[in-house]
């Protein structure tokens, strides 16, 4: 029963992550892009929290790695807020994508 629930959780999180990343890079409107960007940044932090929380308390190195993946999303938010050019927004989107992908890999593969 518990493994079935974990499979459902993994599938839902994977679908949200993939669809969010697709929308992040393919939406044309600036308002929609920013909304998806902020959602994916928060999603990357939630994934990092779930990953760090899933390790035992004596797995400090793995927890720090998980929090580092969440820090990528925070850095992306800072880059997007402080940077005013289109290049800085693209850099922020790449950082958010890396945060989500690496967080999902750390949560379910490693």
Cα 69 from chain centroid (whole Å): 8
φ and ψ at residue 58, rounded to 5 degrees: -90, 5
Q: Whole-number mean pLDDT of the chain?
A: 92
- Report d(CA 56, CA 80) in Å as an integer: 34
Residue 100 confidence (pLDDT) above 80: yes
- Domain of residue 25 covers 2-108
- For 32-86, the pLDDT digits (tens) are 999 999 999 999 999 999 999 988 999 999 999 999 999 999 999 999 999 888 8
The confidence score (pLDDT) of residue 43 equals 96
pLDDT at 18 (0 to 100): 95
How many structural domains does the chain have? 1
- If pLDDT is split at 50, 70 and 90, which confidence band does 107 have? confident
Residue 4 has phi, psi (to 5 degrees) of: -65, -40
Cα angle 6, 23, 41; round to 5: 65
Q: Record the pTM.
A: 0.89
pLDDT over 80 at 2, yes or no: no
What is the structure's pLDDT at 109? 81
- 1: which 2 tokens? 């029963």
Instruction: State the pLDDT at residue 108.
Output: 83
């Amino acid at each position: 029963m518990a493994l079935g629930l974990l499979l459902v959780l993994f599938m839902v999180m994977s679908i949200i992550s993939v669809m969010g990343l697709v929308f992040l890079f393919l939406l044309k409107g600036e308002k929609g892009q920013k909304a998806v960007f902020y959602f994916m940044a928060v999603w990357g932090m939630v994934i990092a929290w779930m990953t760090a929380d899933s390790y035992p308390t004596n797995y400090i190195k793995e927890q720090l790695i998980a929090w580092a993946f969440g820090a990528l999303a925070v850095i992306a938010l800072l880059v997007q807020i402080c940077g005013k050019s289109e290049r800085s927004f693209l850099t922020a989107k790449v950082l958010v994508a890396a945060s989500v992908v690496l967080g999902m890999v750390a949560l379910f593969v490693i």
